[in-house]
Amino acid sequence: MRPSDFTTRIAGEGAAAWRTHGRARAMEREGQDVIILSIGDPDFETPRPIIEAAYQALNEGHTHYGELVGARKLRQAIASYQGRLSRVAIDPDNVVAVAGAQCGLFASALCTLNPGDEVIVPSPTYVTYEAVVGAPGATLVSVPTDPERGFEVDVSALRAAVTPRTKAIMLNSPNNPSGAMVSREVLEGIGEICKAHDLWLICDQVYSGLVFEGEHICPLSLPDMAERTIVINSVSKSHAMTGWRFGWLIIPEHMRTSFSNLMLCMLYGLPSFIQQAAIIALDQDLEELEEMKRAFAARRDTMATGLEGVESLVCRTPPAGMFCMIDVRKSGLTSYEFAERLLDAEGVSTLPGDAFGPSGAGHLRLSLMVPEARLKEACLRISRFAESLAG
C-alpha cells in the first residue's frame, strides 16, 4: 500500500529544513549543551491574564464545541485588534478564527487555488509555503529578492512572473525569515498587479505586532483590495502563545460560505475555553507585550554586535520580526553544510536558508528566542566556528 499523492505534494525542501533542528533536540535530550536558534517559539511565558482567563473559562464549563468560525464576541475582538493594526474598519462577519496562522495559510490555499494554478511568492519564503501551495495541486513560483538591498520586493519582477495560470500572490510582511517589510509604494504596485490580472492576494502578517522600525502596511487599507485579499494573523509570536494554536483570517464577504464549509469538515471550531482566553489577549492592553517587543529588538542588536567583525559572516539586521539572517557564503559552505557542521562543532542549532528559496541560499536563519546571555554565547560559538573555517 502506498500513501496518497497529496502526501508527496506536502514534502520537499521545507520539510527537510528541520533535520538540523531535530538533531539538536535529540542532542539536548541527551544532556548536551545545545543552543537552539532554529525555531520561532518565544521563550517568554504567556501573559498571566490570558492564562487566568483560560482557567476561568474551563471552570465555567467552556469545554464543549465552539462556534465553527469563532464566537461572535471573539470575532468582534479580532476585528477591532486587526483594524487597529491595519488602520481600516473590519466587519466581524468577515473574520474566521483558526488553529494558528499555519492553519489559516492552509485554509486559504484550499479555498482559493485549483490544480494547475500558479502562486507567485517573493523569496525568501517561509518553509511551509511550498507545501501549502502544493496541497490543492497548485505550483509555487518563487521570485527572488536581493539580500544586498534588504530583501526588498521587486514589483517589476512580480509582474514579469505573471502567466495565464497565475491565480494569486502570496505575501509575508514582515517576512519570515528576513524580517523585511513591504513598503506602501511596493504594496500599491502589487495591488495594481492583482487588479489587472484578477488575482488573489494572500497576506501573512503574523509578525505585524513586532515592528521595530518603519511602518507596517496592510493591503486591506488600499482602495479596492478588500474584495480580493485574505489576511492571515495570530498572537502566537506577539503574545508568546504558540502552543495555544489561535489565529484568524480576514476574508472577503463573498468567501464566507466557502471558509465556513471548510471549517466544518477540517477543524469544527476552536476549543471554547481558548476562544474565551483569546478575547482577553486581544482586548486588554497588556504591558508584557511591549516588554517582549523591546527584548526582541535588544536581542537583534546583540546578535548584530556579536557577529560584527567576523570576516566571513554578514548579519542582516531586520526592521521587524524575531529572526536574523546571517550570510555565510564567504565561508565556502552551503547553508546546509554550515548548519550541520556548526551544530556538531559548537552545539548551535540554526535553520538553513536554502530551504526558504533562492534568496535564502547561503544564509542561516537565527531566532532570537533565547535570553540575552545565551544569545551572546551563541554569537561567540558561531564566530569561533566561522574563524576556524577561515583558518
How does pLDDT run along the chain (391 residues), one tens digit per residue? 888 888 888 876 655 667 889 999 999 999 999 999 999 899 999 999 999 999 999 999 999 999 999 999 999 999 999 999 999 999 999 999 999 999 999 999 999 999 999 999 999 999 899 999 999 999 999 999 999 999 999 999 999 999 999 999 999 999 999 999 999 999 999 999 999 999 999 999 999 999 999 999 999 999 999 999 999 999 999 999 999 999 999 999 999 999 999 999 999 999 999 999 999 999 999 999 999 999 999 999 999 999 998 999 999 999 999 999 999 999 999 999 999 999 999 999 999 999 898 999 999 999 999 999 999 999 999 999 999 998 6
Does the domain made of 48-283 have the CATH classification 3.40.50.10070?
no
Parallel/antiparallel/unpaired status of strands 351-352 and 363-367: antiparallel
- Cβ neighbours for 249, distance < 8 A, ≥ 6 positions apart: 95, 96, 98, 104, 107, 108, 230, 231, 232, 259
Class of domain 5-45+287-390: alpha beta
User: What is the predicted pLDDT for the residue at 247?
Assistant: 98
Q: Is the dihedral of CA 76, 106, 210, 242 positive or negative?
A: positive
Q: What span, in angstroms and rounded, lies between the C-alpha atoms of 324 and 301?
A: 10
Q: What span, in angstroms and rounded, lies between the C-alpha atoms of 322 and 307?
A: 17
User: What is the predicted pLDDT for the residue at 390?
Assistant: 81
In 3D, which of 150, 294, 124 has the Cα closest to residue 210?
294
Q: What span, in angstroms and rounded, lies between the C-alpha atoms of 235 and 223?
A: 27
Are 179 and 323 in contact by the 8 Å Cβ rule? The answer is: yes
The residue type at 207:
Y
Q: What span, in angstroms and rounded, lies between the C-alpha atoms of 83 and 86?
A: 5
Q: What span, in angstroms and rounded, lies between the C-alpha atoms of 109 and 283?
A: 29
Which H helix or E strand runs over 119?
strand 118-122
User: What is the predicted pLDDT for the residue at 8?
Assistant: 82
- Cβ neighbours for 31, distance < 8 A, ≥ 6 positions apart: none
Sheet of 363-367: strand order equals: 314-316, 323-327, 363-367, 351-352
User: What is the predicted pLDDT for the residue at 206?
Assistant: 97
Q: Which three cell numbers mark 25?
A: 533536540
User: What is the predicted pLDDT for the residue at 134?
Assistant: 96
User: What is the predicted pLDDT for the residue at 12?
Assistant: 62
Q: What span, in angstroms and rounded, lies between the C-alpha atoms of 255 and 96?
A: 11
Strand-pair partners of 352: 364
The residue type at 44:
F
User: What is the predicted pLDDT for the residue at 313?
Assistant: 96
Q: Which three cell numbers mark 281?
A: 489577549
376 Cα distance to chain centroid: 25
DSSP string computed for 28-60? HHTT---EE-SS---SSPPPHHHHHHHHHHHHT
Q: What span, in angstroms and rounded, lies between the C-alpha atoms of 281 and 289?
A: 10
Question: Looking at the chain, which residues constitute the CATH 3.90.1150.10 domain(s)?
Answer: 5-45+287-390
Question: Looking at the chain, which residues constitute the CATH 3.40.640.10 domain(s)?
Answer: 48-283
Burial profile 319-340: b = 16 or more Cβ within 10 angstroms, e = fewer: bbbbbbbbbbbebebbbbebbb
User: What is the predicted pLDDT for the residue at 18?
Assistant: 79
Q: Is the dihedral of CA 326, 33, 369, 25 positive or negative?
A: positive
Q: What span, in angstroms and rounded, lies between the C-alpha atoms of 69 and 107?
A: 12
Specify the pTM. Answer: 0.94
Q: What span, in angstroms and rounded, lies between the C-alpha atoms of 18 and 59?
A: 38
